[in-house]
Amino acid sequence: MEIALNGYYTLILATLVLLLGKFLVKKIKFLEDFSIPEPVAGGLVAAAVIYALNAFFGYSFVFFKDLQTACMLMFYASIGLSADFSRLKAGGLTLVIFTIIVSLFIVLQNGVGVALASAFGLEPLMGLVLGSIPLTGGHGTAGAWGATLENDFGLVGATTLGIAAATYGLVAGGLIGGPVAKRIITKKLNMQPSVHQVTDSSTLKETGNAGEEVFEKSDKVRLITATSAIETLALFAACLVFADVMTGVAKGTAFELPTFVWALAGGAILRNALTLIFKFDMFDRSIDVFGNASLSLFLAIALLNLKLWELTSLAVPVLVILLVQTLVMLLFAYFVTYYVMGRDYDAAVLSAGHCGFGLGATPTAIANMQAITDRYLPSHKAFLVVPMVGAFFVDIINTAILGVFTKML
């Protein structure tokens, strides 16, 4: 029996999922330690309940997809609206080199995923769902590309698999980042922990030099007004209109891209045009609030739409591919990121950060680096570069590379 829920009931259930996730993350230390997002924690429980209802009673649910799509587009528009290209000057050459390294790894990650998927007899596009879509991209990218692959390419279960892989990546990225950096520091740099560095690192975080101005946690308090909220919504509306128009204009051409890619591009163009040409003061705090809220609702609805029964036959291949991807990330951070970034302490901390968002998300990267700097030395360079690359540049690069891969496959 199929039960369809309209937008009102979908929104109500999505908010209940978010409240459940918030409760679980506060109560279960494992979820908090590995920075599992609240929508994922609550959504996976909801998905398990829906799976049980289907398995035992034959019920299936259809949730209002238009609301999910709108939240997804607003989330990607927020990434574009946060992409201030003038910040490239602050990072200098280090930022450029690290961005190139990250880009090369995204290509490698997708190549490994596609090769292993083909070896297991799976659709090659499934390799992207076990590649940079969920691992470098995270839950938001997994949900967005999953919907695109299901609707445009007929890849059944892409969203479900992507969300599951992104959750695995958060845990794996948090597990390997610290050990990789620690081994580099102790074996290659011959450094020992210093108890005096805890105070220094704490001071670094308090003064804001640890990238807090660039990377802001989703639960951080932000002061916004009704006027700034309305003006920000106007910016989002412009991005969504641009995305809708460009999707239609580019359809059937070499520039045909998913709608959410145009939303991201529209946000980046609008942000930099307003700030560079018209000297407009962007409402970054308001953009963050709407972007984070949209992402949370989008993930909650996406997880409500999970059909876990579609993945039972893929369990073994998926596990093998994800374990190989973890090993590839570990080796790349140890032998490539560290050496190319200068073979010094900053490079070791950058390697820990790369493990964090190369498999999980930027918060995981920040947590990895803080664990190292709390034990050894501060790293101003790492805390400047990683948040800038991980917070928005990596999403733009990942989207571009995935666009090329989907056209090739």
Residue 270: pLDDT band (50, 70, 90) is: very high
* Best CA proximity match to 244, nearest among 6, 14, 66, 64: 66
* Best CA proximity match to 91, nearest among 394, 379, 382, 339: 382
Are 351 and 175 spatial neighbours (Cβ–Cβ below 8 Å)? no
> What is the maximum alpha-carbon separation in the chain?
64
Segment 374-397 shows an average pLDDT of: 81
Looking at the chain, the whole-number percentage of residues with pLDDT higher than 70 is 89
Are 406 and 122 spatial neighbours (Cβ–Cβ below 8 Å)? no
Segment 101-129 shows an average pLDDT of: 95
Q: Which two tokens stand for residue 408?
A: 């090739």
pLDDT at site 343: 93
* Best CA proximity match to 306, nearest among 39, 115, 38, 23: 39
- Is a pLDDT exceeding 90 seen at residue 166? no
pLDDT at site 203: 37
pLDDT at site 124: 93
- Tens digit of pLDDT for each residue in 176-220? 888 899 899 988 888 877 644 443 333 333 333 333 443 434 455
Q: Which two tokens stand for residue 49?
A: 């309940």
pLDDT at site 321: 95
Are 165 and 322 spatial neighbours (Cβ–Cβ below 8 Å)? yes
Q: Which two tokens stand for residue 172?
A: 């794996």
- Residue 62: helix, strand or coil by DSSP? strand
CA 232 to each of CA 157, 235, 274, 289: distance values in angstroms, whole numbers, following the listed order: 35, 5, 13, 10
Are 18 and 300 spatial neighbours (Cβ–Cβ below 8 Å)? yes
pLDDT at site 355: 93
Within 13 A of 258's CA, how many CA atoms are on the CB side? Answer: 26
Residue type, 308: L
Torsion of CA 167, 168, 174, 180, to 10 degrees: -150
Mean pLDDT of the chain: 83
Are 351 and 102 spatial neighbours (Cβ–Cβ below 8 Å)? no
Segment 49-75 shows an average pLDDT of: 88
Within 13 A of 32's CA, how many CA atoms are on the CB side? Answer: 8
Are 37 and 360 spatial neighbours (Cβ–Cβ below 8 Å)? no
Cα–Cα distance between 250 and 247 in angstroms, integer?
Answer: 5
Cα–Cα distance between 162 and 133 in angstroms, integer?
Answer: 7
Residue type, 232: T
Cα–Cα distance between 169 and 134 in angstroms, integer?
Answer: 8
E strands in 95-239: none
pLDDT at site 392: 65
307: left (phi over 0), alpha (psi -120 to 50) or beta: beta
- Matching residue, tokens 């059909």: 307
Residue 175: pLDDT band (50, 70, 90) is: confident
- Tens digit of pLDDT for each residue in 319-368? 899 999 999 999 999 999 999 999 999 999 999 999 988 997 776 787 78
366 CA to centre of own chain: 13
pLDDT: is 125 or 256 the higher one?
125
- Tens digit of pLDDT for each residue in 74-106? 988 888 888 777 766 666 788 889 999 999 999
Q: Kindly report which listed range (5-9, 84-88, 310-314, 369-373) carries the lowest average pLDDT score.
A: 310-314
pLDDT at site 208: 39
pLDDT at site 88: 65
Segment 221-241 shows an average pLDDT of: 87
pTM: 0.70
* Best CA proximity match to 282, nearest among 83, 89, 92: 83
Are 236 and 290 spatial neighbours (Cβ–Cβ below 8 Å)? yes
pLDDT: is 188 or 174 the higher one?
188
- Is a pLDDT exceeding 90 seen at residue 114? yes
pLDDT at site 117: 94
- Is a pLDDT exceeding 80 seen at residue 109? yes
DSSP state of 121: T
- Matching residue, tokens 């540049």: 393
Which residues does 46 contact at the CB level (< 8 Å), separation at least 6? 13, 17, 20, 303, 304
pLDDT at site 306: 73
